[in-house]
């Protein structure tokens, strides 16, 4: 969430092929940390995290308790009341 993008407006970026995104150190939020498969992810998940959420350096990211709802629209299943 706190990654730095390449400076696409600079000509040097294209000349030197500097297209790598820079990510902060530490654990990443993945589908495994939510306990879902890639197929289920397309059904839609609403998660109780924001851009200020930073997992601790040595903490195993477990976000199963952060899932608010599963699905889209009227078919969404509310998992957790906020």
- Distance CA(78)–CA(65), nearest Å, equals 13
Instruction: Write out pLDDT tens, residues 2-60.
Output: 778 788 888 888 888 888 888 877 777 888 888 889 998 898 999 888 877 777 666 66
Decide if 63 contacts 79 (C-beta within 8 A): no
The DSSP code for 59 is P
The residue ranges of every structural domain in the chain are 26-78
Total-model pTM: 0.61
């Amino acid at each position: 969430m706190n990654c730095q993008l390449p400076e696409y407006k600079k000509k040097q970026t294209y000349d030197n092929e500097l297209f790598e995104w820079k990510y902060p150190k530490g654990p990443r939020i993945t589908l495994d940390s939510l306990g879902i498969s890639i197929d289920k992810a397309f059904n839609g998940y609403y998660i109780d995290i924001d851009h200020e959420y930073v997992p601790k350096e040595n903490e195993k990211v477990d976000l199963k308790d952060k899932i608010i709802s599963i699905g889209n629209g009227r078919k969404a299943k509310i998992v957790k009341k906020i």
